[in-house]
Structures are given as C-alpha cells and as structure tokens.
C-alpha cells in the first residue's frame, strides 16, 4: 500500500506539492502559536488553561482550514490534469494509475497540509501541558513555548535549506529572524 | 499450440511514469519477460514509444492490460514472433 501511494505521488509530482504545503502550513502553525504565546506573555498573568484553550482552538482551526482548502484545490487541479491527459492519449483514464492518483493524491496532500500545523502547534504547546501537569520547567510555561516556537521555525528553515541546496544554518537563521521580528512587534504593541 | 515469443507494440504513454518506471512496472507484473522501450516521439503531454516484449510465452492480454493501467494506450501491433515448435525438453 505504501509503495502504491508513493508511486501515485511520483506520478503527479505530489511529493513536491506535499513538501511545499508541509512547510507553508507548518510555518503558519508555528507563527500562529508564537503569536498567541507572545501575546499572552505580554498581557501578563494569564491562567495556563486559558492559554491552552486558545492555542488548541487556533491549532484546530488551522488544521481544518489546511485539510479542506488543500483537498478542494488539489482535487480541482488533479481533475483538470486528468481531463487534459485523457484528451492527449484519447482514452478514458479513470481506471488507470492516473485516475487513482487524481482521487488519492488530493487526500494525501490535504492530510499533510492539515496535520503540519497541528503537529507543530502540539509540539509548541508541550510546556503548557507539562506545566499544567505540575512538572517543573527551567523557564515559565509561556517562555518555554516561545522557545519551542523559535526552535520549530529554525528547523523548518533548516529543512528548506537542505531541500534547496543552501547551507541549512543560514536558512534556519533566516526563518528564525522572521520569528524574532514577529515576537518583537507583538511585544512592542503589548508594552 | 503456438506461443508468442516476441511482440512489438506501438504505444502512446503520458510522460509519467517515465520510461524506466514504465518498463520496470510491466516487467514487475510479468515474470520471465524481457522488455525494451524506445521513445520515438515526444510532445507536450505524451510520448510515442515502441515496446518490445520477449519471453518463452508472452502473456499478451495481461501485458496490454498492464500498459492500459499505467495510463498508456496500444495503437498497433508492429511485429510479432509466434512459435509452434515443440520445446527441446519435449522433443
């Protein structure tokens, strides 16, 4: 099954699209969580359950948005491509590998687009849950979450660097600077 | 009963899967076959290819079905070698 899905992704170059969506929506998720945690941090004393609820709500909204938008747009694109290919080969391709790819690849890409922000958001929220569970952290829960958001954004940048052939450190530092600028603006508004 | 030893087909295929993956997929489905794929023309969305399949007994219908499942269409049979000779073992 995995081999067949990999074949369908290669057929449509879906693996490149999925990789792009993973980074784009992963970035959205990480920056959104950074924004929320930084906003709560600058607001002062906020109960951890309130922060968790807000962050979880944001993560779920991003997930649903990612799933639905990617499925709708990719389905339309794959259908269009399939029709053009059917005209070119003058044959019905519904029961071929291309027809299967047109049906399954949008679902796979939608999952990647939806799960990327959710997984990254859950990673960033870890200190909040640990703090809620009474586990002591070296920094406050919000500060720890902000640090994890910076780490996540750096890693996304480093990943992009390896994909594009650029030095991973510079790519990571570039996305880290976007995170730092975002946090700085939020803190400036909250000051 | 005559068996097909070799068949050469004129096949129109999409660019994906590429020729290597296409030939490998056909060979994977049908053991004991030697597959040769030659690209003769390329246009925007398709490639015209000549596919040669050799075997002790070419499973023609199954090969054509596999080609169709990969999104390609068989335009013609250009060459065929059929043998009704008894095998050396049976002789």
Q: Mind listing the pLDDT tens digit for each residue in A149-167?
A: 999 999 999 998 988 888 9
Task: Report helix angle A97-132 to A14-43, nearest 10.
Answer: 20
Which residue from A minimizes the CA distance to B65?
A: A96
Whether residue B69 and residue A98 make contact (CB cut-off 8 A), yes or no, is: no
Nearest to A85 by CA among B39, B72, B42: B72
pLDDT above 60 for A76: yes
Tens digit of each residue's pLDDT (9 = 90 or more) over A105-126 = 999 999 999 999 999 999 999 9
Whether residue B12 and residue A89 make contact (CB cut-off 8 A), yes or no, is: yes
Distance in angstroms (rounded) separating the CA atoms of residues A91 and A85: 9
Question: What is the average per-residue pLDDT within A84-102?
Answer: 92
- Does the complex come out with an ipTM higher than 0.90? no
Q: List the end-to-end C-alpha distance of chain B, in Å, as a whole number.
A: 14
> What's the gap in Å between the CA of A73 and the closest CA on chain B?
21
Label residue A12 by pLDDT band (50, 70, 90). Answer: confident
Q: Which domains does chain B have, with CATH numbers?
A: 3-83 (3.30.70.1340)
CA atoms within 13 A on the CB side of A111: 6
Which residue from B minimizes the CA distance to A83?
A: B45
Could you report the average pLDDT of every consecutive run of 10 residues in chain B (91 residues)?
94 94 90 93 94 94 94 95 71 39
Whether residue B71 and residue A10 make contact (CB cut-off 8 A), yes or no, is: no
Nearest to A89 among B17, B46, B69 (CB): B46
Whether residue A97 and residue B46 make contact (CB cut-off 8 A), yes or no, is: no
pLDDT above 80 for A4: yes
What is the domain extent for residue A22?
Answer: 2-190
pLDDT above 70 for A26: yes
Q: How many pairs of residues across A and B have Cβ atoms under 8 Å apart?
A: 41
Q: Quote the pLDDT of residue B90.
A: 45
pTM attached to this predicted model: 0.82
* Dihedral in degrees, nearest 10, Cα atoms A105, A110, A113, A114: -150
Which residues in chain B are contacts of A7 at CB distance < 8 A? Answer: 17
How many domains does the structure of chain A reveal?
Answer: 1
> What's the gap in Å between the CA of A26 and the closest CA on chain B?
29
Contacts of B23 (CB under 8 A, 6+ apart): B35, B36, B37, B51
CA atoms within 13 A on the CB side of A51: 32
């Amino acid at each position: 099954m995995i081999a067949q899905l990999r074949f369908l992704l290669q057929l449509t170059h879906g693996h490149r699209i999925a990789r792009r969506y993973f980074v784009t929506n992963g970035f959205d998720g990480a920056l959104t969580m950074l924004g929320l945690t930084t906003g709560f941090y600058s607001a002062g004393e906020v109960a951890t359950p309130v922060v968790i609820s807000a962050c979880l709500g944001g993560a779920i909204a991003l997930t649903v948005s990612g799933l639905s938008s990617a499925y709708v747009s990719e389905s339309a694109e794959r259908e269009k491509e399939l029709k053009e290919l059917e005209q070119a080969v003058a044959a019905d391709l519904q029961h071929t590998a291309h027809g299967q790819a047109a049906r399954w690849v949008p679902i796979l890409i939608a999952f990647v687009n939806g799960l990327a922000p959710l997984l990254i958001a859950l990673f960033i929220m870890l200190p909040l849950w640990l703090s809620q569970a009474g586990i002591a952290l070296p920094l406050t829960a919000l500060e720890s979450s902000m640090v994890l958001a910076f780490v996540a954004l750096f890693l996304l940048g480093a990943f992009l660097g390896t994909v594009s052939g650029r030095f991973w450190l510079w790519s990571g530092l570039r996305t880290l600077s976007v995170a730092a600028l975002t946090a700085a603006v939020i803190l400036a508004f909250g000051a | 009963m005559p068996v097909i030893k070799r068949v050469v087909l004129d096949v129109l295929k999409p660019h994906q899967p590429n020729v290597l993956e296409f030939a490998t997929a056909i060979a994977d489905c049908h053991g004991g076959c030697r597959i040769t794929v030659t690209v003769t023309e390329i246009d925007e969305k398709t490639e015209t290819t000549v596919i040669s399949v050799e075997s002790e007994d070419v499973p023609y219908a199954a090969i054509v079905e596999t080609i169709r499942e990969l999104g390609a269409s068989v335009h013609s049979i250009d060459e065929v070698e059929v043998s009704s000779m008894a095998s050396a073992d049976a002789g």
